[in-house]
Amino acid sequence: MQHFWAIQMADWLDQIKWTEDGLLPVIAQDAQTGDVLMMAWMNAESLALTVDTGFAVYWSRSRQSLWKKGETSGNQQKVHSLLLDCDGDTLLLKVDQIGGVACHTGRRSCFYFALESGQWQATTPVLKDPAEMYKS
Amino acid sequence: MQHFWAIQMADWLDQIKWTEDGLLPVIAQDAQTGDVLMMAWMNAESLALTVDTGFAVYWSRSRQSLWKKGETSGNQQKVHSLLLDCDGDTLLLKVDQIGGVACHTGRRSCFYFALESGQWQATTPVLKDPAEMYKS
């Protein structure tokens, strides 16, 4: 059975069109409100872990390591559903955002610089103090 | 005045963290329903054109050319707002999806393969016949 499961796993993972670096762009969306929370990357291992654990695990390109979302901050993302796009090269991850904050700045969503009058203007309030989130 | 405007343009474009290839991943979201419609790429020229014209213009990596979304299919995207993320390397484009269909398969959204029981299962109906959309 373990062998059969491994083959199945490889199958759905193999159907993804990974980048040359073996990565996949992933859009995290709040399953309840529809808010787009962030965009990050996964490799095959992090995607398999995401499915296995039911919580979002990304691949940090800057640290070149697995990034269990919320491990430090507590802002975990419980997986609601996974949707691959028509080209098989982008994933939409619908999540329940634990604590309501996805961004390291303490905002709900990472997308908060609106282009207004030719300038990027910060919108949306800081809900949690980053110093509190990352004090550990 | 033209000169001043050009400097302003360069400024907000320069604040974006482009990839080494000079590209930016862009998530298109329906401004009314919150549906995530697609993910595509822009270069500086296509983003400037998007802002100037008020309609989404992407950069086709496969064709290496500007891609005026909907030019052939009619599925244009009228820009509602532009939101850059905390890292300055991903854009969320809120749009009014003309005709209600974003995907070249005739579906509303490109994200329609749901992972269920270890397989990508096509969900959501085809709303427009692709043969009709692309008959030119």
CA distance B104 to B119: 22
Q: How much is the pLDDT for B6?
A: 53
Q: Do B82 and A15 touch (CB under 8 A)?
A: no
| Mean pLDDT of the region A25-39 | 98
Confidence of residue A135 (pLDDT cuts 50, 70, 90): confident
Chain A with chain B: Cβ pairs closer than 8 A = 105
CA atoms of B58 and B45, how far apart (whole Å) = 9
Q: Is B8 on the interface with A (CB under 8 A)?
A: yes
- Predicted complex ipTM: 0.92
Picking from A12, A113, A121 by the largest number of B CB atoms within 10 A of its own CB, the best residue to mutate is: A113
Shortest Cα distance from A12 to chain B (angstroms)?
6
pLDDT at A125 > cutoff 90? yes
- Whole-number pLDDT of residue B101: 96
Q: What is the 3-state secondary structure (H, E, C) of B35-73?
A: CEEEEEEECHHHHHHHHHHCECEEEECCCCEEEECCCCC
Mean pLDDT of B76-90: 98
Closest residue in B to A32 (Cα) is: B34
Name which of B106, B70, B88, B82 is nearest B28 in CA terms.
B82
pLDDT bucket at A4, cuts 50 / 70 / 90: low
Mean pLDDT to the nearest integer, A43-50 = 96
For residue B10, pLDDT beyond 70: no
Which of B19, B37, B39, B79 best tests the A interface by mutation, with the highest count of A CBs <10 A? B39
Average pLDDT of the segment spanning A19-44: 97
Give the model's pLDDT for residue A10. Answer: 64
In the predicted structure, residue B130 carries a pLDDT above the cut 80: yes
What is the mean predicted confidence (pLDDT) over A61-82? 95
B6 part of contact set with chain A, CB < 8 Å: no
Cβ pair B85:A113 closer than 8 A: yes
A88/B113 Cβ within 8 A: yes
What's the pLDDT score for residue B27? 98
Residue B8 pLDDT exceeds 80: no
- Picking from A42, A26, A7, A10, the residue whose alpha carbon sits closest to that of residue A93 is A26
Calculate the average pLDDT of chain B. 92
Q: What is the mean pLDDT of residues B94-112?
A: 97
Question: Does B90 contact A111 at a Cβ distance shorter than 8 Å?
Answer: yes
Residue B1's pLDDT band, with cuts at 50, 70 and 90, is: very low
CB contact under 8 A, A110 and B87: yes
pLDDT band at B77 (very low <50, low <70, confident <90, very high): very high
Report CB contact under 8 Å: A15, B83.
no
Cross-chain Cβ contact B113/A87 below 8 Å: no
Instruction: Kindly report the average pLDDT of chain A as a whole number.
Output: 92
* Partner residue facing B36 (CB), from A11, A29, A104: A29
Q: Give the CB-side neighbour count of residue B114, counting CA atoms within 13 A.
A: 9
Chain-chain contact of B115 with A12 (C-beta, under 8 angstroms): yes
pTM score: 0.93
Confidence of residue A136 (pLDDT cuts 50, 70, 90): low
Residue A46 has pLDDT above 80, yes or no: yes
**Predicted confidence band at A1 (pLDDT cuts at 50, 70, 90)?**
very low
